[in-house]
A and B are shown apart, each in its own frame.
Chain A
């Protein structure tokens, strides 16, 4: 069964710190991996998309890495800000073109 797991379920860090969110998946035959942000009561905002042939993508203070062989991806957030507080979701498109989400990591940045 193709599964996506995100640990921890919740994380609190002081403002200004760098942090890493983790995502693991059970099938290395993936098409791409996408990180989303979701604010309470809102839809999903795409942060970064990594194709299966890529190893990382960067956007501003965000950097996402992909290691297919180990079935892992990380989202690195530099110099965290209170506005970064949200739930971060990892989603994997497996080879059968099915997009599967993790349950997310709820991030709280403490001012």
Chain B
């Protein structure tokens, strides 16, 4: 089993540019999460999907962040335009109800 796969692993962009992250969850996991982790902090939820439906996006800054999960499998997270404060690690996780969470390796974003 490949686990949760994220790409790219690292991304450096200039401020005001757009950026997108991709996540492929574990096969059969209906629930998918995007988390943001700042240095020295625990991950914080951005959005949670149940299949293709976003059931909790209350922490997603919707003025610049968007996400989609077409067909209830892969997901993309987009930032447009990026700001310096968006520099962080973006983590994707998936789970099946009753089980724990499996995280991907994350995407480290640096906005310069």
* Interface of A toward B, CB cutoff 8 Å: 4, 32, 34, 36, 41-46, 49, 51, 89, 91, 97-99, 101-104
Q: In the bound complex, what is the Cα–Cα distance between A99 and B45 (angstroms)?
A: 8
Q: Known contacts A101-B42, A104-B42: does B101 contact A43 (CB below 8 Å)?
A: no
Query: Which residues on the B side are within 8 Å of A36 (C-beta)?
Result: 103
- Cβ contact within 8 Å between A34 and B105: no
> Could you tell me how many residues of chain B have their Cβ less than 8 Å away from some Cβ of chain A?
22
- Cβ contact within 8 Å between B104 and A103: no
- Cβ contact within 8 Å between A99 and B101: yes
Shortest A107–chain B CB gap in Å is 14
Shortest A89–chain B CB gap in Å is 6
Query: Which residues on the A side are within 8 Å of B53 (C-beta)?
Result: none
6 pairs of residues in contact across A and B, judged by CB atoms under 8 Å: A32-B100, A46-B102, A49-B99, A49-B100, A101-B44, A104-B42
Shortest A90–chain B CB gap in Å is 9
Query: Which residues on the B side are within 8 Å of A43 (C-beta)?
Result: 6, 91, 103-106
- Cβ contact within 8 Å between A103 and B100: no
- Cβ contact within 8 Å between B105 and A98: no
- Cβ contact within 8 Å between B33 and A99: yes
Q: In the bound complex, what is the Cα–Cα distance between A45 and B91 (angstroms)?
A: 12
Q: In the bound complex, what is the Cα–Cα distance between A46 and B103 (angstroms)?
A: 8
Query: Which residues on the B side are within 8 Å of A102 (C-beta)?
Result: 42
Q: Indicate the member of B56, B100, B103, B106 with the most A CB atoms within 10 Å.
A: B100
Query: Which residues on the B side are within 8 Å of A44 (C-beta)?
Result: 43, 91, 93, 103
Q: Does B78 contact A (CB under 8 A)?
A: no
Q: In the bound complex, what is the Cα–Cα distance between A97 and B40 (angstroms)?
A: 24
Q: Does B15 contact A (CB under 8 A)?
A: no
Query: Which residues on the A side are within 8 Å of B45 (C-beta)?
Result: 98-99
User: What 6 A-B pairs have minimum CB-CB distances, sorted nearest first?
Assistant: A101-B42, A49-B100, A44-B103, A43-B105, A43-B106, A34-B100
